[in-house]
Amino acid sequence: MFWHCFLALCFSILPFQSYAADAVSNAIEFVIIIPSYNNEQWYKANLDSVVNQTYPHFSIHYINDCSQDKTGQLVDQYVKDAGLELKGKIQVTHNSLRRGAMANLFSAITAIDGKKVVVVVDGDDRLAHTGILDILAKQYADKSVWLTHGNYTTEPFTKASYCKEYPKKVQKKLKFRSSKKWMGCQLRTFYAKLFHLIKKEDLLFNGDFLPMTYDLGIMFPMLEMASDGHVRFIEEPIYIVNTVNPISDRKKNAKLQKELDTHLRNLPSYQPLKELF
């Protein structure tokens, strides 16, 4: 009688164990990339918003782009105090020369497994709350989704973004580059494989990586490649943009920003992909 009960108990447990293993193996894996320069004022809020996500399947690649303030030392201390390296949760790269966000993203993302989802969080910004990756995981549970973009709020002067889903006409006719309104806003996420398919030369300007406006540089081709039903817009603001940083692109060189905008809009469009994997 004892053995019958024991065997019955084992068989009742095994299906659950198998299901749990399958759930983990099929879980969406996120890689949060944080390009950062001179963010000693904002590094903690930035990292707190990422490290404390309730969804468990993620890692972080923090890229300190040769900061001239204490960003590097402060981030290293944060990682040590939180035990993040021991948990295998974070990789911190300290550049000896400043490379710029586009070059850093290119190096980091080309090294990521194509089936992992990239989440880009600038070093002075933050995720809106601790459940953001849970929201994203639900989106990517739909295997037709390859890329997401959405809404954000700003701080310290709270203001909602203007972003919406691209009209079906824009998506069908590949008019992203000619659309008057830019809707490829934060939070931007995508399968690494989609990024891998961008031609390196399309991310360059005068022989070097784009010095700013990397968002247009990466999003135009990926939106085009994913336009056949694989783009998901998230209406809820899930990202917070820092509007007081004095070294933002718009404040730094508005003329160059406009020149790069024109350059990227004039590049040839990518064709929609039938499949990604």
List per-residue pLDDT tens for the chain, 277 residues long: 434 443 333 433 333 333 344 455 589 999 999 999 999 999 999 999 999 999 999 999 999 999 999 999 999 999 999 999 878 899 999 999 999 999 999 999 999 999 999 999 999 999 999 999 999 999 999 999 999 999 999 988 777 788 999 999 999 999 999 998 999 999 999 999 999 999 999 999 999 999 999 999 999 999 999 999 999 999 999 999 998 887 665 556 889 999 999 999 999 999 999 999 9
- Which structure tokens are listed for 43? 């590094």
DSSP 239: E
- The topology under which CATH files domain 28-265 is Spore Coat Polysaccharide Biosynthesis Protein SpsA; Chain A (3.90.550)
Chain-centre distance for alpha carbon 264: 20
- Structural domain boundaries in the chain: 28-265
**Separation between Cα atoms, residue 6 and residue 1, nearest integer Å:** 9
Return the SS3 of 31: strand
pLDDT of residue 249: 58
- Which structure tokens are listed for 182? 């830019």
Please state the pTM of the whole predicted model. 0.89
pLDDT of residue 23: 55
